[in-house]
Amino acid sequence: MLCRYEAESHILDPVARNTMEEEPVGQFKIVAGLPMYNEEETIGTVVTKVKDYVDEIICVDDGSSDSGARIAENCGAIIHRHRVNRGYGGALKSLFAKAREMDADALVVLDSDGQHEPADIPKLLEPILSGEADFVIGSRFIDGGGSEDMPAYRRLGIKVITATSNLSSDLGIQDTQSGFRAFSKLAIERLRFDAEGMELSLEMLEDAHEKNLKIEEVPTVIRYDVPKGSNFTAISHGFTVMVWALLSLSQKKPLLVLGLPGFGLFAAGAAMAFNAINGISSSVDALVGPGLTAIWIGVLGLAMMATGLVLQSARNFIRHLLIREFGLA
């Protein structure tokens, strides 16, 4: 059965699923995907609410030890099981594979813990079904969005990760860590990712950008008064994603990553040398130590800047060659 949306008017209210008498134009198969790990407290409510907006719900049971999968299945979801916990990235790989098997026209991904508001699903789908976007993010940090009771350390961490990610991709996304996302058929078919953990959120954005998929943000409110894991989980998640963002930045903009620290070291070395020269009235022996240290720091800074420049030039040359010779971005 298909969940039909009025594409021409961009009004995304689900209507009766009688496909036998309807024309195929304007009909879309909408699939929701919910990664799930020990979510028996909330999964039943989430699945029940999501059913009003989609045709099928896939729950990926990522090695849970509770009865969440049975509850979700009783509520009408399709269950895909992992024998062991493979992480958020592993769950999304399975969701995308299942969506391709089901020939979905759009895939909406949201959390199983009730953080995301199912009533906002039409808002995320509107740019997808109207052809304006291939990848839509439910954002907490644009006008109209928000986050109820978000801890301050989470807000700061997300802002830092987002800023680092935007440095490498130039996307200007305000909320790179939102797990409330929607994808077009083109995105479902073309997106590929390797990460198994939460760093997938950034890898997916970069892959979409490199494949020229249209990315858009819409406002949503995310709740934090729901059953969640420990603070350690949130901190370890942030650390993992931040490391991935820095590695990506170093690969894409080595001049920035190496050049700025290199310039700082060179400036520090120059300042130390200047101070040493000003103290030249003292004995030569007293001058040797600081002088050599200043030279060493200055040379290290110059080496870092030169390395960054070489790597950046090499990357630009290889990218240009790939585009010119093979049509690859």
Mean per-residue pLDDT pooled into runs of 10, the chain (329 residues): 42 40 58 95 96 96 94 96 91 95 96 94 96 96 84 74 66 87 96 77 85 94 71 53 58 61 70 64 54 68 67 59 51
Task: Output the six-digit token pair for 221.
Answer: 């409110």
Q: Which of 247, 253, 246, 245 is nearest to 309 (CA)?
A: 253
Query: What's the confidence (pLDDT) of residue 157?
Result: 72
Query: What's the confidence (pLDDT) of residue 43?
Result: 96
- How many angstroms separate the CA atoms of 24 and 3, rounded? 12
Task: Output the six-digit token pair for 173.
Answer: 């996304």
Q: Which of 251, 273, 293 is the last residue of a domain?
A: 251
Overall number of domains in the chain: 2
79 CB-near residues (< 8 Å, 6+ apart): 58, 59, 61, 69, 72, 73
Task: Decide: helix, strand or coil at residue 120.
Answer: helix
Query: What's the confidence (pLDDT) of residue 147?
Result: 80
Task: Output the six-digit token pair for 176.
Answer: 């790179």
Q: Domain range spanning residue 315?
A: 254-326
Rg of the Cα atoms in the chain: 25
Is residue 43 within 8 A of residue 112, CB to CB? The reply is: yes
Q: Which of 192, 195, 174 is nearest to 237 (CA)?
A: 195
Question: Residue 117: what residue type?
Answer: E
Paired residues of 182 in beta bridges: 108, 136
Residue 216 shares a structural domain with residue 291 = no
Query: What's the confidence (pLDDT) of residue 137?
Result: 96
Q: Which of 222, 251, 280 is the last residue of a domain?
A: 251
**Secondary structure element (H or E) that encloses residue 253, with its range:** none
Query: What's the confidence (pLDDT) of residue 199?
Result: 73
Is residue 89 within 8 A of residue 179, CB to CB? The reply is: no
Q: What are phi and psi of 314, to 5 degrees?
A: -65, -45
- How many angstroms separate the CA atoms of 35 and 200, rounded? 13
> Strand 181-184 vs strand 135-139: parallel, antiparallel, or unpaired?
antiparallel
Residue 115 shares a structural domain with residue 188 = yes
Residue 63 shares a structural domain with residue 141 = yes
Residue 282 shares a structural domain with residue 267 = yes
Query: What's the confidence (pLDDT) of residue 23?
Result: 34
Its pTM stands at: 0.67
Question: Residue 200: what residue type?
Answer: L
Query: What's the confidence (pLDDT) of residue 173?
Result: 87
User: What's 177's DSSP letter?
Assistant: T
Residue 227 shares a structural domain with residue 84 = yes
Domain CATH code at residue 217: 3.90.550.10
Residue 124 shares a structural domain with residue 193 = yes
Q: Which of 213, 235, 251 is the last residue of a domain?
A: 251
